[in-house]
């Protein structure tokens, strides 16, 4: 994998390790999240903080999101890979449309909760976007089940991106009725 500019939406929370892994393997990683302090914490984790481009924008504000994304691509070049943790599909669609104006072929890994494995909203992305879903499940234990840890989530996403998998499940989504409360 050798991308020049990649994007992580929601990359300062449980996807922090994914943002850092991408920064270690790519020229530039733009990371979207609202809180400056979380971006600063992420910078402290990075081997080379200059590889991280903080985008402190609320993805519910679609026009601001588009402006910031265009600013990032003006500075760092077309985005060719994106990892997205956002439940707000209009933001995913806006991001996809803007990236497609710069990149005629790019990949989007859309990270989703387990419910969406069974029942998802419609999402429209341009043909130039190679769209992949990654579902976050849970872990069955001897006496029940538990949610994934942040490390398990990040490691599972990294494996899916490395293997370019579509429909990957981190942990399990079966039996769904046994998921943790």
Ligand X SMILES: NC(=O)c1ccc[n+]([C@@H]2O[C@H](COP(=O)([O-])OP(=O)(O)OC[C@H]3O[C@@H](n4cnc5c(N)ncnc54)[C@H](OP(=O)(O)O)[C@@H]3O)[C@@H](O)[C@H]2O)c1
Residue whose Cβ sits closest to ligand X: 13
Alpha-carbon span 171 to 173, nearest angstrom:
7
Q: Pick the piece of the chain touching ligand X (CB under 6 A) from 30-38, 46-54, 116-124, 159-167.
A: 30-38
One of 1, 4, 45, 58 touching ligand X (CB under 6 A): 58
Residue whose entry in the numeric block shows the structure tokens 């976050």:
136
Q: Which two tokens stand for residue 104?
A: 């005629």
Q: Pick the piece of the chain touching ligand X (CB under 6 A) from 75-83, 116-124, 132-140, 156-164.
A: 132-140
> Residue 127 Cβ, how far from ligand X at the closest point, in Å?
27
Asked whether position 13 contacts ligand X by CB under 6 A, the answer is yes
Q: What DSSP string runs through 98-123?
A: HHHHH-SSEEEEEEEETHHHHS----
Q: How many residues does the chain have?
A: 181
String of b and e for 13-50 (b: at least 16 CB within 10 Å)? ebbbbbbbbbbebbebbbbbbeeeebbeebbeebeeee
Q: Pick the piece of the chain touching ligand X (CB under 6 A) from 4-12, 98-106, 120-128, 161-169.
A: 4-12
Asked whether position 21 contacts ligand X by CB under 6 A, the answer is no
Q: For residues 65 and 44, is the Cβ–Cβ distance under 8 A?
A: no
Nearest to 122, CA basis, from 92, 166, 82: 92
> Residue 173 Cβ, how far from ligand X at the closest point, in Å?
9
Q: Which is nearer to ligand X, 2 or 121 (CB)?
A: 121
Chain residues 139-158 in contact with ligand X, contact rule CB under 6 A: 147-148, 150
> Residue 39 Cβ, how far from ligand X at the closest point, in Å?
8
Q: Can you give the binding site for ligand X, defined by CB under 6 A? A: 10-15, 32-35, 38, 58-60, 85, 113-114, 136-138, 147-148, 150
């Amino acid at each position: 994998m050798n991308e020049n500019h990649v994007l992580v939406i929601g990359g300062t929370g449980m996807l922090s390790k994914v943002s850092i892994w991408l920064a270690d393997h790519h020229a530039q990683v733009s990371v979207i999240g609202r809180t400056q302090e979380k971006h600063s914490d992420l910078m402290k984790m990075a081997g080379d903080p200059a590889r991280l481009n903080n985008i402190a924008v609320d993805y519910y504000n679609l026009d601001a999101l588009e402006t910031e994304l265009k600013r990032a691509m003006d500075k760092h070049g077309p985005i060719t890979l994106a990892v997205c943790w956002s439940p707000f599909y209009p933001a995913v669609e806006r991001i996809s449309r803007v990236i497609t104006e710069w990149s005629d072929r790019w990949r989007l890994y859309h990270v989703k909760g387990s419910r969406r494995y069974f029942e998802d909203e419609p999402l429209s992305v341009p043909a130039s976007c190679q769209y992949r879903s990654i579902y976050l499940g849970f872990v069955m234990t001897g006496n029940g089940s538990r949610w994934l840890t942040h490390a398990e989530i990040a490691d599972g996403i990294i494996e899916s991106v490395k293997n370019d998998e579509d429909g990957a499940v981190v942990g399990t989504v079966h039996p769904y009725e046994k998921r943790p409360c």
